[in-house]
Amino acid sequence: MSSSVALLITGASTGLLAGGASCAAIQGGLLAGAVTRRRTPVPAPAAKKPAAAQQAARPLAPVGAFLAGKLLSHTLLGALLGIFGDALQPSPRTQAVLLLAAGLLMVLFALDLFGVKGVGRLLPRPPASFGRLMRRSARTDSVATPALTGFATVLVPCGVTLSMELLAITSGSPVAGAAVMAGFVIGTAPLFAALGYVFRRSSQALSGRLAALTGVVVLAVAVWTMGSALQAGGWVSFNAPGKGDQAAASEPFIVEGGEQGSATPGTGDTETAAAAPVRIDASGQQIITLTVTDFYETTQLTAKAGVPTTLVLRGKDSGGCARAFTIPELGVQEIVKRDGDTEVDLGTRKPGTLGFSCAMGMQTGTIDFK
């Protein structure tokens, strides 16, 4: 159960810090349409609530229904992903291709919002029966329209949502999978609630400009998503590490023995060796330690080629997408422990550069074997 709580917190923090803006850009049009189509009748003057309270409550009802529908669909999806687990788990590069496809789809959505002719025929459309249901509910005062639209957002995932779905798949539990997806929606809720309130109160003023404004945001997020996808697949890297961001192993430490390297068997030297980011122990095994918090604390490591190597992912209150660690070239994907070590066997590497990243491609790094 503790792992489910940790995944709930991970999902919520990711949604709050990264997912809100990304998903709002993709799903903002659905939110705007859902909360501005219907108008709740003004209560009779004899109502007990003050007029100001009535005016404030009316915009919040459809927004709340939208978020409730979204929470329900994503929680159910997370539970299903947790049940099927490995059977649904894509490789890092397959996931990168999916992210790239999502980015290209966003470009089409943006062009359609800009009014480019012919683009609409290339976009996926909901089933006709769903559209009829939406139109019928839009003519009523029920909250069915925003609730159904919020439920349907599961069919239009943003790049960050795909990363959370990967966490749900690798959780191996329906409870944990549901927790990470529910947490993610809860994290995005504040931004969606604020946007929904603005759309609801200002729909008439924004009606002429909303499509163009949304198109600009969607296009910007599309470019960001495709860039992240290229990094997640290990095909390119846009990150330039700083001078203090490199850990070298031109002379690796020896924890015991002292026949090779720079450390002697003294107690102080042994402790220093054990704390080194790159070291070789007495058995000849090279140990590379990467500290994972909300980020990767070292993004450029240098190690010796031709030596059996183990990568230790050291979680220290880790969170966000950094926990979904991947090495695209090797097909490695691990969920880093929130606090604790996760070991990855890299085998005996030949000279060359091995890239790693989070599942979304937002955070990347390299290990240079020499």
Q: What is residue 132's predicted lDDT score, i.e. its pLDDT?
A: 62
* Residue ending a domain, choose from 232, 255, 273: 232
Q: What is the Cα–Cα distance from 169 to 171, expressed in whole angstroms?
A: 6
DSSP code at position 122:
G
Q: What is the Cα–Cα distance from 223 to 309, expressed in whole angstroms?
A: 36
CATH code of residue 317:
2.60.40.420
Host domain of residue 65: 2-232
DSSP code at position 214:
H
pLDDT tens figures, 14-29: 788 666 666 776 676 6
Question: What does the angle CA 164 – CA 6 – CA 311 come to, to the nearest 5 degrees?
Answer: 75
Name the residue among 14, 34, 21, 62 with its Cα closest to residue 152. Answer: 34
Give yes or no: residues 141 and 121 share one domain. Answer: yes
Q: What is the Cα–Cα distance from 27 to 291, expressed in whole angstroms?
A: 34
Q: What is the Cα–Cα distance from 45 to 163, expressed in whole angstroms?
A: 50
Element (H, E) at 247: strand 246-247
Q: What is the Cα–Cα distance from 93 to 32, expressed in whole angstroms?
A: 34
Q: How many CA atoms lie within 13 A of 52 on its CB side?
A: 0
Q: Residue 250 in contact with residue 276, Cβ under 8 Å?
A: no
Ranges of the chain whose pLDDT falls below 50:
1-2, 38-47, 49, 51-57, 242-244, 249-250, 256, 259-265, 267
Residue type, 327: I
Name the residue among 174, 176, 126, 183 with its Cα closest to residue 151. Answer: 126
Q: What is the Cα–Cα distance from 97 to 108, expressed in whole angstroms?
A: 17
Give yes or no: residues 252 and 150 share one domain. Answer: no
Torsion region of 85: left, alpha or beta (phi above 0 gives left; psi -120 to 50 gives alpha): left
Element (H, E) at 152: helix 144-152
* Residue ending a domain, choose from 213, 232, 251: 232
Please report where in the chains the tokens 């949304």 appear, as a residue.
214
Give yes or no: residues 46 and 112 share one domain. Answer: yes
Give yes or no: residues 252 and 213 share one domain. Answer: no
Does 237 map to a domain? no
- Given 3-state DSSP classes, what are the helix, strand and coil percentages for the chain, each rounded to the nearest 5? 55, 15, 25
Give yes or no: residues 184 and 267 share one domain. Answer: no
Q: Tell me the three state secondary structure of residue 254.
A: strand
- Cα dist. 302→203, 225, 256, 264, 278 in Å? 55, 29, 21, 22, 8
Q: What's the number of domains the chain is made of? A: 2
Backbone angles phi, psi at 315, to 5 degrees: -75, 130
Give yes or no: residues 213 and 247 share one domain. Answer: no
Residue 313, burial from CB neighbour count under 10 angstroms (0-12, 13-18, 19+): buried
Give yes or no: residues 185 and 256 share one domain. Answer: no
Q: What is residue 188's predicted lDDT score, i.e. its pLDDT?
A: 87
* Residue ending a domain, choose from 210, 232, 254: 232
Q: What is the Cα–Cα distance from 144 to 305, expressed in whole angstroms?
A: 61
Q: State pTM to two decimals.
A: 0.66
Give yes or no: residues 336 and 196 share one domain. Answer: no
**Between 20-36 and 92-113, two packed helices, what is the crossing angle to 10 degrees?**
40
Name the residue among 156, 224, 203 with its Cα closest to residue 39. Answer: 203
Question: What does the angle CA 55 – CA 59 – CA 64 come to, to the nearest 5 degrees?
Answer: 135
44: Cβ contacts below 8 Å, ≥ 6 apart = none
Q: What is residue 52's predicted lDDT score, i.e. its pLDDT?
A: 45
pLDDT tens figures, 311-344: 999 999 887 778 889 999 999 988 888 889 999 9
Find the radius of gyration of the CA atoms of the chain. Answer: 25
pLDDT tens figures, 147-198: 887 888 887 776 677 767 877 877 778 898 899 899 999 988 888 888 777 7
Give yes or no: residues 223 and 264 share one domain. Answer: no
Q: Residue 283 in contact with residue 277, Cβ under 8 Å?
A: no
